[in-house]
Amino acid sequence: MPMIDIYAPAGTFADPHQVAQNAATIVKTVEAVPDIPMFRQNTAGFVHELAAGAISDVDGAGDHVRVQVLTNDGALDRDKQLAVVTQLTDLVVTASGNDALRDRTWVLLTEAVPGGWGLWGHAHTNEELVTAARAEIAELQAKAAAQGN
């Protein structure tokens, strides 16, 4: 259930909400978790629009975007890391209409330590998250079976 934070100068994106939704969808899809409410409702993107002058590189340029993806430990193997970075960079470039951002978008992949993933008021370990997902899948399957689906 990744959290994606996108930091960009205000006005970089015409539709920040759509960028946030697309970022969440990208990471959920690449992570390849089951398409259940637990993951759909707890994978979220946040676009943080920063005031002019709030970002600078050594040369003084402020047209950069920083994307930080926080996942549970081990959620992204090497192939998934490569895919997430590529697809999120593509999203930034497309949504901004600024191809130059391809070279000025930083994507940081961060993993929460076991027990460092708080959800539903509890600090979960990876095993607890897997158990919760399996329980939700079983519940959804039981409901579908009861309805004759």
Task: Give the mean pLDDT of 45-70.
Answer: 95
Residue 11: is its pLDDT beyond 70?
yes
Mean pLDDT taken over the chain: 91
Residue type, 141: Q
Q: How far apart are the first and last CA of the chain?
A: 27
Average pLDDT over residues 69-73: 90
| Comparison of pLDDT for 134 and 11, the residue scoring more | 11
d(CA 34, CA 28): 9
Amino acid at 39: F
How far apart are alpha carbons 25 and 22 in whole angstroms?
5
| Max CA pair span of the chain | 64
Region 74-95: mean pLDDT is 97
Residues in a beta bridge with 133:
none
